[in-house]
Amino acid sequence: MGAVVFAVEAVVPHTNSGFPVLAAMIALPLLGALVLALIPSSRPELHRLVAIVTSVSTGALALWVLYNFRTEDPGFQFVVSHTWVATLDIKFYLGVDGISLFLLVLTGILFPIALFAAEPDQNEKGYYVWITLLEAGCMGVFAALDLFLFFLMFELTIVPLYFLIGQWGHGRRVYAATKFFLFTMLGSAFMLVAIVSLAVLAHAGEGGGTSFDLLKVAASTSVSRNTARWVFLGFAVAFAVKTPIVPFHTWLPDAHTEAPTAGSIDLAGVLLKLGTYGFMRYGLYLFPEASVFFAPVFLTLATIGIIYGAVVAAMQRNLKRLVAYSSVSHMGFAVLGLFALTTLGLEGSVLVMINHGIITGALFILLGFLYKRRHTYDIDKLRGLQSVAPWFAGVFTLVMMASIGLPGLNGFVGEFLVLLGTFVSHRWWAVVSAVGVIIAAVYLLWAYQRVFHGEPDEDNKTFPDLHLTEKLVMVPLIGLIVFLGIYPKPVLERVEPSVKLLLAHVEAFAPGFHVANTQDGEKLQPVPGADDSSSPGQEQGSQEPETQEQGEGR
Amino acid sequence: MSGLVSSLVPSSILAADAPARIATPEVAWRALLPIIILLVGGIVMLTIASLVRKRPTARWYAPYTVVVAVAAGLSAVPLWARVQGWDSLLWWDLPASPRGPFSTVAGAVGVDGFGLFAAGVICAAVVLGALLADGWLRREGLNGAEFYALLLIAGSGGVIMAMADDFIVLFLGLETLSIAVYVLSAMHLRRVQSQESGLKYFVLGAFSSAFLLYGIAFVYGATGTTNFIGIRNYFGPPIKSATGVITGGNIPVHGGLLVVGLALVLVGFGFKVAAVPFHSWSPDVYDGAPTPAVAFMAGAVKVAAFAAVIRVFVLTFPNFVTDWRPIVEFLAVASLLAGAVLAIVQTNIKRMLAYSSISHAGFILMAVAAASADGTSAVLFYLAAYTFMVAGSFGVVSLVSGRGDNRTSLADYRGQSRSNPGLSLTLTIFLLAQAGVPFTTGFFAKFYAVAAAVGSKLTWLAIVAMVSAVIAAFLYLRVIIAMYLRETDEPATGRIPVRFGAKLALGLCLVVTIGVGILPSVFLNPAREAIPYLVEPPAPTPPPGPAPTTDPLTGATIPKAQTTSTTADPLSGGAGG
């Protein structure tokens, strides 16, 4: 696994190659949006073409980054840095490490798929402009290494989604869009004050001045412990709304339900990760002490979210709402693993983010296909689809099983690692949260049974099965679901160095905190391969007594 | 010019053998050029329009106004170059000796970066107002020179306020600005609301002017001078003059007189910037007044009034910051919250924008309360950004409201995205900018204001401000929803014709709002360099030799080193960077 760097400051950001690929990944969608805006509305086919070309090439850049990523380098790579506002040390500063790498790739993959999977019913031009802008914003959030740039991009994602939901959504779309906008804005309001406070108080700039440079601010020690906790809460509100963590989640079911298919895919697949990613990069990294201090709170909220989301999902009559609440539950796992503050937990958390993006994206695509045929998401109106649409049922089953967490599919790996990592440091939270996995099986299987089993009635008899293009759209996602389920190593070996570095940073800056790993935590290979996916568990189990002592010692 | 200047250099008052002459203060005419151009431009226009029997064709009014305002703005550029100590301006090499900020007319007018920046913004507001007025006046059948002349005169009043270094001059500027704006509000002859708003504005404005005067009298009573420099020196460190007289170093034993004076002055300014609880005129006036006039005054009056607030409070009374800051904080919180909350319940877009402008005033007051160099530059950035945003917003409103200026209810915006996609998009951008969405100037304006507040340990105020921004965001969303997301209704209006002037104005506002939103340094760097100074006027004794009037701009002879030493600017600590 290479030499793990303990001296946190020793990690030098790396540029990998001369080409500023991360900047290109933001600039390309922006450029695409501009081109789209300039094409007259009378050429809808051109709009679709430009949007697809833009997002496919952005995705290709993301894959290029993945390919050229230096696996064992825990620091930031592909770094781009340009001064923007010199007086405040605001920079156009981008970089990618193991944690953000796969979120960038996920963004790059899901956006083209969302475009292929769904078409707008009206006003193509606006639709594609907003989607490409949204992609730029998401890329920017994951790549930003400057607090100010991050906030800017974080905010930039709100407006496009507002319009996507409000203009192309279903039913109570205006209500849902406005609710989404105001909730997120409220979170951001606190975050802006927190960011500015931090930038001013950290004295990380030249001569103790203001600086928004993430690395400089993280290395600063001039913020007092109490202040840091308050500032952390400012960030936490924004991320808790975005993730969403119960009780800040109420915008999500509305937004999900009323959003158009592509909006739902991007919202669930990418945008929710802004919250958990934010917790990791801007919570843990900037406020190690405060994160450790507040970890029990967030663990508890995450556990409540897991159970609550799953229970509420079981009660839903609307399939989209069901998936929305299941997102609350799954994102709870991501938060749980994050605040477990163990290597396994953090790795699991990253994996959950990626897997949830893929699975929920796939589910929303399938629901989009369903809506196109039946114009309803109502479970009561659907019946017996298995016999009339076997392909649809088959694909749905696979994705659903992944969501439930069937071993061998990708949903399992992340949640397993999260539970494992949490068990090491916070045993009871893990035990309670594990119930969520069981309830997930309940609500999904029950919904499946009601929708797909039985005899189709009059309305459902003519349900057409998936046609070729629809199948093709599903191929990459199904492939990823299976591949990452069987062989998550390529992901884990890239995530792990960065996660370890992050935890080393937390240890260095949070007095009295030690990562509750297994005794020889550094040698542990928490990479469940194809056939030995249970081996870390055994290893973990054997180490349990010691780790438990550590956990209680804190 | 140099001959004129040298003839105006006053003789010594102390010279006993000289025949009795009235000592006129030295006037650096070039430093007053922005004011003079605007004022003379307005008067010339009125004169020509009233003397020529066959009135000049209507189409020349707006271009003339634009040219005058641009000239006034450009005349500030050499001054700016001198104040900032530039070595050269384009291809002109500037003289090395008289550089830095200075004051003229016996210290009654200060020429510093701050005043010049504000002057530039006011000139921009005049340009935008004139461009928007062109189409509006023709639509309403009101075309005449008066509107434009009043715009120019109001602009000159605003510039006087921004550059005033004396309470009397400040008051002169305020009245010049205000009276012109009262008349502008009542300009719509055929609309009773316009008459009403003009009267209301006049009565309440006169009332607030009385408060201001009363406050000035109190301050005069406490300090014995109306001059900012005099007041600053009065409370500044004691200075022993060559004749052995010690001036300054005074500490008010019973500060009541002064504090009451300051409070009354603040009330007067509070009326002008429409800060809660002195805001009640603004929704009625914004609703009733001609929309292009609102587009002008929402920006320009705020710029002038806030410039005055900074000059008086932050610059002249920095020692009394603990006295006035709580009041400003209260005004800021009240304006932020009341403005945002009351805006939501409005159904008339002009009233909505009036309340939102109250909320914006709260943001600017927050930056004032910071009382720091960052705060001052945040105020300037906010004002510059706001002038363009609000002019753009009201510009679109003036187009949509149609003949008679009556279609201003929210319902009139339903479905505009289909009948007028361009206008809708434009208004959307301005509204999003006002909401503080990234890549617009509005975002950076709010950001710098928050940064200034946090820098001065006013984090609680920053949180209040951001929460109110979220509340206010809902109001902008309501308009956007009406335009875009209500698909079921028939569009409220058909296609709206847009004249070239309005197109140009909206285009300018768009370019600034988005362009500066991407490259904030374009406004931020000047705003940071625009530091307010109080500079002693040059000593009245003329040097024995030939008058050193080599300076192309003024007859001032202060060398730079002396200038900086005498300024003792309270903000200069962090201002250099």
- Asked if B466 lies within 8 A of A190 by C-beta distance, the reply is yes
Which pLDDT score, from 0 to 100, does residue B493 have? 74
Q: How many whole angstroms from its chain centre is CA A52?
A: 22
Query: Which of A192, A235, A237, A258 is the best residue to mutate to test the B interface, defined by the most B CB atoms within 10 Å of its own CB?
Result: A192
Inter-chain residue contact B438 with A155, CB threshold 8 Å: yes
H or E stretch covering A444 = helix A427-452
Structure confidence by residue, pLDDT tens digits, A216-247: 888 888 888 899 999 999 999 999 999 899 88
Q: Which ranges constitute the DSSP H helices of B84-166?
A: 113-140, 145-163
Q: What is the pLDDT of residue A120?
A: 85
Q: Given a cut of 80, is residue A282 above it in pLDDT? A: yes
Of A158, A190, A196, the CB nearest to B454: A196
Residue of B336, B431, B485, B522 to mutate for A, most A C-beta atoms under 10 A:
B485
Q: Is the ipTM of this complex over 0.90?
A: no
Residues of B in contact with A193 (CB under 8 A): 450, 454, 459, 462-463, 466
User: In degrees rounded to 5, what are phi and psi of residue A377?
Assistant: -115, 10
State the Cα torsion B314-B316-B322-B327 to the nearest 10°.
-70
Report how far apart the first and last C-alpha atoms of chain A are (Å, whole number).
Answer: 28
Cβ contact, residue pair A190, B477, below 8 Å: no
Burial class of residue A551 in the structure, from the number of CB atoms within 10 Å of its CB (0-12 exposed, 13-18 middle, 19+ buried)? middle
Residue A306 has what pLDDT? 93
Chain B closest CA to A488's CA: distance in Å?
A: 37
What confidence category does residue A15 fall into, taking pLDDT thresholds of 50, 70 and 90? low
Distance from CA of B379 to the nearest CA of A (A): 16
Q: Do residues A229 and A198 lie in contact, with contact meaning Cβ atoms separated by under 8 Å?
A: no
Specify the pLDDT at position B186. Answer: 92
Distance (Å, whole) CA B43 – CA B36: 10
Asked if A194 is an interface residue toward chain B (Cβ–Cβ < 8 A), one would say no
Residue A87, chain B, CB below 8 Å: the answer is yes
Residues from chain B that touch A181, judged by Cβ atoms under 8 A, are 473, 477
Whether A539 has a pLDDT exceeding 50, the answer reads no
Under an 8 A CB cutoff, do B451 and A88 touch? Answer: yes
Alpha-carbon gap: B514 to the closest alpha carbon of chain A (Å): 13
User: Which of B432, B454, B475, B480 to mutate to probe the A interface, most A CBs <10 Å?
Assistant: B454
Q: Do A87 and B467 touch (CB under 8 A)?
A: no
Would you say B188 and B283 are in contact if contact means Cβ atoms under 8 Å apart?
no
Out of A163, A189, A193, whose CB is closest to B454?
A193
pLDDT at res. B51: 83
> What pLDDT shows up at residue B24?
79
Q: What residue of B is the nearest CA neighbor of A207?
A: B577
Token pair of A53 as six digits: 């070309």
Chain mean pLDDT for chain A: 85
The predicted model gives A407-412 an average pLDDT of 90
State the pLDDT at residue B461. 94
* Closest CB to A152 among B438, B470, B474: B438
Q: Is the pLDDT of residue B13 over 60?
A: no
Average pLDDT over residues A519-532: 43
Instruction: Tell me the nearest-neighbour CA distance from B321 into chain A, angstroms.
Output: 22
Residue contact B437–A158, C-beta within 8 A: yes
Please answer whether residues B118 and B380 qualify as being in contact, where contact means their C-beta atoms are separated by less than 8 angstroms: yes
Closest B-chain CA to A41: B421
Instruction: Tell me if A186 and B451 make a contact (CB, 8 A cut-off).
Output: no
Q: Which of B437, B477, B528 sits opposite A155 (nearest CB)?
A: B437
Are A189 and B470 a contacting pair at CB < 8 A? yes
Residue B481 one-letter amino acid: I
The pLDDT of residue A206 is: 77
- Residue A82 has φ and ψ, to the nearest 5°, of -135, 140
- Tokens 């994102």 found at: A331
Per-residue pLDDT tens for A28-59? 999 999 999 888 878 778 888 999 999 999 99
Give the Cβ contact number of residue B432 at 10 Å: 23
Q: Where are the domains of chain A?
A: 289-548
Select from A84, A88, A156 the Cβ nearest to the Cβ of B439: A156
Q: Evaluate whether B372 touches B574 at the Cβ level (below 8 Å).
A: yes
Give chain B positions within 8 Å (CB) of A155: 437-438, 443
Cis, bond preceding A247 (omega within 30 deg of 0): yes
Residue of A nearest to B422 (CA): A37
- CA pair distance A371, A363, nearest whole angstrom: 12
Nearest to A193 among B466, B521, B577 (CB): B466
B122-140 residue pLDDT tens: 999 999 999 999 989 888 8
Give the mean model confidence (pLDDT) for residues A304-318.
92
Question: Which chain A residues have a beta carbon less than 8 Å from that of B437?
Answer: 155-156, 158-159
Q: What is the dihedral of CA B126, B130, B133, B138, to 10 degrees?
A: 160
User: Are B577 and A209 an interchain contact pair (Cβ–Cβ within 8 Å)?
Assistant: yes
Give the SS3 label for residue A300.
Answer: helix
Max intra-chain CA distance, chain B: 89
Cβ neighbours of B463 in A, within 8 Å: 189-190, 193
**Percent of all residues in chain B with a pLDDT value above 90, rounded to a whole number:** 54
Higher pLDDT, B571 or B526: B526
Residues of A in contact with B520 (CB under 8 A): 85
Predicted confidence band of residue B274 (pLDDT cuts 50, 70, 90): very high
Count each helix (H run) and each strand (E run) in chain A, helices first: 23, 2
pLDDT of B73 higher than 90? yes
Using the predicted structure, report yes or no on whether residue B155 has a pLDDT greater than 90: yes
Q: How many CB pairs under 8 A join A and B?
A: 83
Instruction: Give the residue on B whose Cα is nearest the Cα of A189.
Output: B466
pLDDT: which is higher, A10 or B470: B470
Q: Are strands B239-240 and B246-247 parallel, antiparallel or unpaired?
A: antiparallel
What is the residue-wise DSSP string for B24-42?
PPP--GGGGHHHHHHHHHH
Letter for the amino acid at A332?
G
* Helix, coil or strand: residue B179: helix
Q: Is the pLDDT of residue B548 over 70?
A: no
CA distance B447 to chain A (A): 8
Q: What does the pLDDT read at residue B357? A: 94
State how far the alpha carbon of B481 is from the alpha carbons of A33, A163, A173, B435, B487, in Å: 22, 9, 11, 14, 10
Contact B521 A158 (CB under 8 A): no
Beta bridge partners of B110: B103
Angle at which helix B33-51 crosses helix B61-83, to 10 degrees, equals 160
> Is the minimum CB–CB distance between A174 and chain B shorter than 8 Å?
yes
Nearest residue on chain B to A173, judged by CA atoms?
Answer: B485
List A350's β-bridge partners, or say none.
none
Tell whether A179 lies on the interface with B, counting CB pairs under 8 A: no
- Determine the 3-state secondary structure of A113 from DSSP: helix
Residues of B in contact with A148 (CB under 8 A): 447
**Per-residue pLDDT at B17:** 57
Q: From CA B284, how far away is CA B194, in angstroms rounded?
A: 9
Average pLDDT, chain B: 85
Per-residue DSSP letter, A5 = P
Structure tokens at B170: 């400040």
Structure tokens, A440: 């997930």
Taking an 8 Å cut-off on Cβ atoms, the answer to whether B528 and A87 are in contact is yes
Cα A290 to Cα A301: distance, rounded to the nearest angstrom: 16
Q: Could you tell me whether strands A77-85 and A90-96 are parallel, antiparallel, or unpaired per DSSP bridges?
A: antiparallel
User: Rounded to a whole number, what is the distance in Å from the CA of A157 to chain B's nearest CA?
Assistant: 10
Average pLDDT over residues A119-127: 84
